[in-house]
Amino acid sequence: MSQEGDFLVEARDVVLSFGQTPALRGADISAVRGEILAVTGPSGSGKSTLLHCLAGILVPDSGEIRFDGRRIDTRSEAERSALRRDRFGFVFQFGQLVPELTAEENVALPLLLAKSRRAGALAEARSWFGRLGLDGLEGRRSGELSGGQAQRVALARALVSRPEVLFADEPTGSLDSLTGEHVLDLLATSVREEGTTVVLVTHEPRVAAYAHREVVVRDGKATPLYLERPVA
């Protein structure tokens, strides 16, 4: 499907332990530009740990993590933080919105952290509300949103800066089936429109079905399953 040089994010023979407990035991994984890659496996298998390594949140004990052809595991924390701010986006199971901020301020947060002017950042944030079915909710805080609304706000926040890679860890785990499918439809549409690469951690087959490929993590190792459909 792809030559090695096409990989946007990849892990090579990654090993990581927490104290005496091994989490990853030589995991290999890669994603090409514009694909949705599902990382599945049972609870405690190491799939979230692998995602955190790919995103530069965790540094492996050995092995390599590469983004756009360059190693990131050897970079400083400041450099990896800048990478996460400027080129990556994140969606987690419970959204993790900042409760003191309004919905539009939450969406604008990555732009504000990147030193964008406040007026421009808020205007860009507001443009996502119609796309995600959130019109009229711009001024609400997280406690005034339903679970599905909050997760769509979190998705808008992850996509507002048009990241090259979106890391999603159980993004529908706290939602009912119908709302979860709505969020996944919105994610897939946004990916097609923006050309984003998505690494999606899930234990649900219905969520993995949205991906182009699936990799199963068991006992800290990753095994590719199949190619469901080609990446445009």
pLDDT under 70 in the chain at which residues? 1-5, 94-95, 226-232
pLDDT of 216 reads 94
Predicted confidence at residue 69, as pLDDT, reads: 92
Q: Where are the alpha helices (DSSP H) in 115-204?
A: 118-131, 147-159, 177-194
- Of 103, 98, 96, the closest CA to residue 139 belongs to 103
Which DSSP category does 5 fall into? G
Going from N- to C-terminal start, the domains of the chain cover 4-227
Fold of 4-227: Rossmann fold (3.40.50)
Q: What's the pLDDT at 3?
A: 45
- pLDDT given at position 226: 56
